[in-house]
Amino acid sequence: MNSFLKYAKPYKKYFLFGPIFMVIEATGDIVLPFLVAQIINNGAVNHDIPYILRTGGLMVGFSVIMAVFGTLGAKFAVNGSVNLAADLRFDVFSRIQEFSFKNIDDFSTGSLITRITNDITQIQTFAMSLLRGVFRSPVMLIGAVIMAFRLNSQLAIVILIVIPVLGSAIFTIITKASPRFTTMQEQLDKLNSDISESLTNIRVIKSFVREDYENKDFSVVNEGLREKSIAAMKMVILQQPVITATMNITTLAVVWFAGRQIIVGSMPIGNLAAFITYITQILMSLNLLANIFLQGSRAIASSKRINQVMETTIELDDSHAAFPEAMVEKGEIEFRHVSFRYFKTNHENVLDDINLAISAGETVGMIGSTGSGKTTMVQLIPRLYDADEGEVLVDGINVKDYSLKKLREGVALVLQKNTLFSGTIAENLQWGNEYATEEEMRAAARIAQAESFIDSLPDGFETDLGQGGVNLSGGQKQRLCIARALLKKPKILILDDSTSAVDTATEAKIRKSFSENLQGITKIIIAQRINSVIDADKIVVLNEGKIVGCGVHQDLIKTCVPYQEIYYSQKEKNKEGE
């Protein structure tokens, strides 16, 4: 919790004066019943109209002050808690932006969403009730007890019996409920993971007609959340009836005892009215305190989850880079005895002792069966993951010795599973370079063979893309992604199966324009079709995480068995197609 104090600092004003204003309001609450008693005892009983008017006027004055400070206090509580939550949310969000792929895999997107929304809301709710009640409730509790004693110390003994009994009942309820809220929050994680996965993949779900399955899947998590919520709430709903019942029994007891005293004339009638109001106030403030504790326990559970995000070691850290100022200048790449696995505990290598040298400006094709490790291998170059053994060098410098920003500026990777964002085509292209001029965008689009289809759209470069580029075909999206990468003017360009949805004629044009326009750039082209890499300076053949062949097409076709297998299987297919 301590780590959240710094978020209150900029809003000191609200956190300091909010509770103070609430205390002023509470003081009014204490004084008013006393004045009512005075009016009844001295004014009403004796028909003393001026006394009633004077005391009544005083009461109006107190009410006005209470209204003003109550409103201010509530306003400060809202401002303080909402601002704190907004700042915290921003920090958590930007922390997540720093996460590596591995970090995100570890948390799951759904859980991150829950943390950034629901968990922060818990903290906000707690901060708000803290601001409203932290001083107000104790002041009201103690003040009302004192006033009750002043009115009638014999009767007030009843209160001294009631407070500990009620206090321990509430305490039991909260300690039972609190762990159940933690479980509820975890269940909410699962629900959000499920929702975010379904919504992101809604198109696939529809095309496989999996709606029923998804609904079933969802209903399981939803049912889980229902059960956990009811289990948690079951405890909390007890709180209110317990308090109300206590209040009624206490009032009854007080009226019983007071009745006798009034009959014998040892207690003025006005004091009874005030006394009962004080009992109500005592129980209400206990209730408020209980709520603060309850919300506090939920907020502690949530703040632990927030801290997990804030304190996660970011897998890919460049603070120890030996050459933070180095830039990728030539585009040479070398893999030296590189091994890698996604799950560090199980020793199955996804990449196994990879050795490969690529000179600046070379075009390298990569081919291999699905799951052979192609994507994994190229992701090590811009450090989306780090090698577990061996090293990856760019221009002779270990990638870990660059600043991540500079390294990634030099390396453009068109991911296999690519995404565009909502916004216009131009805005999407400017992800590659926010200052790109229209001519530069046009040039990049031309090389990627995207210019003509962009121009054929009614709004050209200003065409608005739906979320994720829904209104483009798969091949059009891929070409935009290539153009976006080109705008970075990288030294190394990696295309991970980025022309898979483009027809072979257009793909051939892309290859041609690459060799004409991108001479100084090192290009790695991962492909399923041998045709896509046939003219490459060298072709790397991967199989089960190992390089099983490396050379030009003419040599590989003679010497490399896995390559021959891929080549002939594709030839067969082509024949069948003819």
Summarize as ranges the residues that interact with Mg ion (CB under 5 A).
Answer: 375, 416
| 206 vs 573 by CB, closer to ligand ATP | 573
Q: From the CB of 385, what's the least distance to ligand ATP, in Å?
A: 8
| 290 vs 494 by CB, closer to ligand ATP | 494
* Binding of ligand ATP by 104 (CB under 6 A): no
CA–CA gap between residue 389 and residue 340 (Å, rounded): 7
* Binding of ligand ATP by 370 (CB under 6 A): yes
* Binding of ligand ATP by 376 (CB under 6 A): yes
Q: Binds 554, which of ligand ATP, Mg ion, none (CB < 5 to 8 A, cut-off by type)?
A: none
* Binding of ligand ATP by 109 (CB under 6 A): no
Q: Binds 376, which of Mg ion, ligand ATP, none (CB < 5 to 8 A, cut-off by type)?
A: ligand ATP
Q: Which of 83, 375, 506, 532 binds ligand ATP (CB under 6 A)?
A: 375
The b/e string for 259-280 (b: 16+ C-beta within 10 A; e otherwise) is eebeeeeebbebbbebbbbbbe
* Binding of ligand ATP by 373 (CB under 6 A): yes
* Binding of ligand ATP by 105 (CB under 6 A): yes
Q: From the CB of 404, what's the least distance to ligand ATP, in Å?
A: 19
Q: Which of 303, 372, 476, 499 binds ligand ATP (CB under 6 A)?
A: 372
Q: Binds 350, which of Mg ion, ligand ATP, none (CB < 5 to 8 A, cut-off by type)?
A: ligand ATP
What Cα–Cα distance (Å) separates residue 282 from each residue in 29, 164, 169, 343? 11, 12, 15, 57
Report 320-349 residues binding ligand ATP (CB under 6 A): 342
| 207 vs 370 by CB, closer to ligand ATP | 370
**Which pair of structure tokens corresponds to residue 276?**
């009962």
Q: From the CB of 545, what's the least distance to ligand ATP, in Å?
A: 7
Please say whether the beta carbons of 465 and 412 come within 8 A. no
* Binding of ligand ATP by 476 (CB under 6 A): no
Report the residue number whose CB is nearest to Mg ion: 375
Q: Which helix (H) or strand (E) holds 441?
A: helix 438-447
Rounded to 10°, the helix 438-447/504-517 angle is 120
CA–CA gap between residue 353 and residue 540 (Å, rounded): 14
- What are residue 340's phi and psi, to 5 degrees? -150, 145
* Residue bearing tokens 């939803």: 222
Q: From the CB of 548, what's the least distance to ligand ATP, in Å?
A: 13
Q: From the CB of 373, what's the least distance to Mg ion, in Å?
A: 8
CA–CA gap between residue 420 and residue 67 (Å, rounded): 53
Among the residue ranges 255-263, 315-323, 370-378, 406-414, the one whose residues contact ligand ATP (CB under 6 A): 370-378
* DSSP annotation of 398: E
Q: From the CB of 197, what's the least distance to ligand ATP, in Å?
A: 15
What Cα–Cα distance (Å) separates residue 93 from each residue in 325, 405, 482? 27, 19, 28
CA–CA gap between residue 468 and residue 449 (Å, rounded): 20
Q: Mark residue 325 as left, alpha or beta (left: phi above 0; alpha: psi -120 to 50; beta: remaining).
A: alpha
Q: From the CB of 102, what's the least distance to ligand ATP, in Å?
A: 8
* Binding of ligand ATP by 193 (CB under 6 A): no
Cα dihedral: 224, 228, 230, 233 (round 10): -160
| 73 vs 368 by CB, closer to ligand ATP | 368
| 138 vs 390 by CB, closer to ligand ATP | 390
| Selection from 374, 370, 341 nearest residue 540 by Cα | 374
Q: From the CB of 528, what's the least distance to ligand ATP, in Å?
A: 7
Q: From the CB of 370, what's the least distance to Mg ion, in Å?
A: 7
Q: Which of 113, 139, 145, 350 binds ligand ATP (CB under 6 A)?
A: 350
CA–CA gap between residue 237 and residue 65 (Å, rounded): 34
* Binding of ligand ATP by 185 (CB under 6 A): no
3-state helix/strand/coil string of 233-302: HHHHHHHHHHHHHHHHHHHHHHHHHHHHHHHHCCCCHHHHHHHHHHHHHHHHHHHHHHHHHHHHHHHHHH
**Which pair of structure tokens corresponds to residue 424?**
């216009």
Q: From the CB of 389, what's the least distance to ligand ATP, in Å?
A: 16
Q: Binds 448, which of Mg ion, ligand ATP, none (CB < 5 to 8 A, cut-off by type)?
A: none
Q: From the CB of 366, what's the least distance to Mg ion, in Å?
A: 10
Please say whether the beta carbons of 271 and 150 come within 8 A. no
| 149 vs 342 by CB, closer to ligand ATP | 342
Report 394-433 residues binding ligand ATP (CB under 6 A): 416
Q: Report helix, strand or coil for 228.
A: helix
Binding flags for ligand ATP, 279-298, as an x/- string (CB under 6 A): --------------------
CA atoms within 13 A on the CB side of 258: 24
| 88 vs 351 by CB, closer to ligand ATP | 351
* Residue bearing tokens 């299987």: 569
Q: From the CB of 375, what's the least distance to ligand ATP, in Å?
A: 3
Binding-site size for ligand ATP (CB under 6 A) equals: 12
Residues that bind ligand ATP (CB under 6 A): 105, 342, 350, 368, 370-376, 416
